A and B are shown apart, each in its own frame.
Chain A
Amino acid sequence: MMDEYKGIAPKGDLLLLRKLGGVFAGKSFLHVNSTREGGGVAEILHRAIPIMESLGIKVRWEVLTGDAKFFDITKKIHNALQGHPEAFTPDMWAYHEEINRKSTLDLGADCVYIHDPQPAPLVQRREGGTWVWRCHIDVSAPQKDVWQSLKLFCERYDGAVFSIAKFARSMPLPEFIIPPSIDPVSDKNRELSGREIRDSMDKLQVPLDRPMLLQVSRFDRFKDPIGVINAYRLVKKYNDCILVLAGSPATDDPEGAAVLNEVKEYASGDPDITILLLPPFSDREINALQRAATVVLQKSLKEGFGLTVSEAMWKEKPVLGGAVGGIPLQIVHGLTGFLVHSSEGAAFRIRQLLNNPAMAKRLGERGKEHVRANFLITREVRDYLSTWYSLVNPNKNILEL
């Protein structure tokens, strides 16, 4: 498995992974989350576990199951932690805890990573090993009572992991920052031949005769699809180009359909705007779109980490992004892409890039190297194991291997 990343991931990451594998070979590692399919966490686990196993670590992945009532409560917890107010009653917390308490999951392992709030109370059943709460969401401005209740569980872990520093909350335990990552050998990011790209574009009915501006994201107001169309229209006055907005339907987002309709209506009458509603798991098509694009946008107004930015950068595309969430970590302004703050700003940068292919190429090349150094899955697995190593060697700032 590690051989697949040879020549792709930084040598140092692979070397450290092997060193950490040497330390932890034969030990057991357990991941627990609440869904096997769908969502970023499941996607990361599907890719990370084979790498960990190839290092000789005995890895298990358990999924906490619950009924509709449980997931309704955890959805509310999820929303409230991200600052969207929800009403809670003591019964709801009791039920959340009860499902965790009654679960029959085997939690015995040398290191246990519990992902997100749903299974957080499992820590009450810990018997041994190193326990880490891996929080993938932004809990920097939560509904206070909800955080207070959840914190009682979180504080019982040996350590916590957040995706970026600004998503974290202060707790009396070591808190690590581990950004998410992309897998360079997955269908979404692997190299595609020119033929494969052309075939996908034919299938999606996207012409390749002019420069393509692309945004891949859910149809969500925070992704600002209307702002992207406005930017495209400003560009179009000077440069002939097409715009593709591609996204999957978000089944858990009742607003998604309404936003999609708004976008379609706003774009209507312009044959050079293509709106693609792709089925879930359209990884190959997204890969082809990103590779066919001339400029990629992620003009979000609010964002989690925004990994579509790294996906496009990995394909050496110049990327424009809103300066929100994890995007500024990926786009070093002027070096690996451009951060933009308005449709006008986006339009100006797009025009610069369309008129200066050498600049676009330079940003794309640097962007790819920035992703290689910071946002590949080998680095994320390296950091998970390093966190474990740090927690079993507490109070040390320098660890020699």
Chain B
Amino acid sequence: MTAPFEFKQSVILLKSTGKKARTLAELRDLIATISEGSIFHHTYQYFLKGHILEYTNDFSHWAGESIEESVLAERLSNLDPYDYADIAQLRKELLRIIDAFRATFPEPREALPRDEFFFNEAVTLVFPAGIRARNLAEFLMAVKHVDASSLYYHFYDSRIRQGGEKNDFSQWFEQELGKIGLAGKIHSVDPFMHSLEGIRDRIAQAVEEEVTQDMESAGIMP
């Protein structure tokens, strides 16, 4: 019997670590020592902001906007946090990128007062959205209307829970519905290039196509 897909959603409560960096050197030293929760927040949870700008994490955003180092911002933006098995490795890569930049380029200017990099972390509250889908058609209805934070939880956050291999949606399509093609299609949506609403549209479109195909195969549609 197919287990239904239970939509959950998450909300973050922001916490200050009290640490801030005015210069790139300070940023580097703090990245080396700050809590794993803080690194996690400034990279993975960037997607919760819901806007897609030129950056893909808070460090690249600060490099581009606050100390105006475009090269560093571009390099940091290309970092894919899901490539790393744990935060320790991600931290190492952040440090490598910054060290390589500092070895080649002159030291950037200081950020203006109050434009420093403020290291935060977050408490994540997870709760059921009260929506469940038993089949693909129900899933399609649900995904069009669930809260954006639910998309974040199942599309982004789940990759960390599942070791970067899968998102919850793909997992369910594959394991419960046997839809390996659809699972792959959803998993290949570039998580860095769309807002949460953009992700919603792409998932809905792919699922709708699958539902239509199923109906055609079953002879329900001409």
Interface residues of A (CB under 8 A from B): 10-13, 15-16, 19, 140, 162, 165-166, 168-171, 174-178, 324, 332, 335, 373, 382-383, 386-387, 389-390, 396-401
How many B residues, CB 8 Å from partner? 31
Using CB atoms, name the residue of chain B closest to A169.
B18
Report Cα–Cα, A168/B149, bound state, in Å. Answer: 27
Cβ of B124 and Cβ of A397 under 8 Å apart? Answer: yes
Cβ of B129 and Cβ of A15 under 8 Å apart? Answer: yes
A72 to chain B, nearest CB (A): 29
Report Cα–Cα, A386/B10, bound state, in Å. Answer: 12
Report Cα–Cα, A389/B126, bound state, in Å. Answer: 12
Given contacts A140-B114, A165-B120, A386-B11, contact A16 B127 (CB under 8 A): yes
Given contacts A12-B11, A170-B18, contact A397 B51 (CB under 8 A): no
B16 to chain A, nearest CB (A): 4
Report Cα–Cα, A21/B117, bound state, in Å. Answer: 35
User: B residues 128-153 with Cβ under 8 Å of A?
Assistant: 129-130, 147-150
Which residues of B lie under 8 Å from residue A397 when comparing CB positions? 37, 121-124
Given contacts A12-B150, A324-B114, A335-B51, contact A162 B123 (CB under 8 A): no
Cβ of B126 and Cβ of A400 under 8 Å apart? Answer: yes
Q: Does B103 contact A (CB under 8 A)?
A: no
Which residues of A lie under 8 Å from residue B17 when comparing CB positions? 170
Which residues of B lie under 8 Å from residue A166 when comparing CB positions? 20, 114, 116, 118
Residue among B50, B114, B118, B126 with the highest chain A CB neighbour number at 10 A? B114
Given contacts A175-B15, A176-B15, contact A400 B114 (CB under 8 A): no
Residue among A170, A178, A324 with the highest chain B CB neighbour number at 10 A? A170
Which residues of A lie under 8 Å from residue B114 when comparing CB positions? 140, 166, 324
Report Cα–Cα, A335/B51, bound state, in Å. Answer: 8
Q: In the complex, which of the residues B18, B53, B123 contacts A399, with contact meaning CB atoms closer than 8 Å? A: B123
A274 to chain B, nearest CB (A): 33
Given contacts A12-B129, A16-B125, A397-B123, contact A175 B18 (CB under 8 A): yes
Cβ of A398 and Cβ of B13 under 8 Å apart? Answer: no
Cβ of A382 and Cβ of B16 under 8 Å apart? Answer: no
Q: Does B215 contact A (CB under 8 A)?
A: no
Report Cα–Cα, A345/B118, bound state, in Å. Answer: 27
- For B41-57 the 0/1 string (1 means CB < 8 A from A) is 00000000011010000
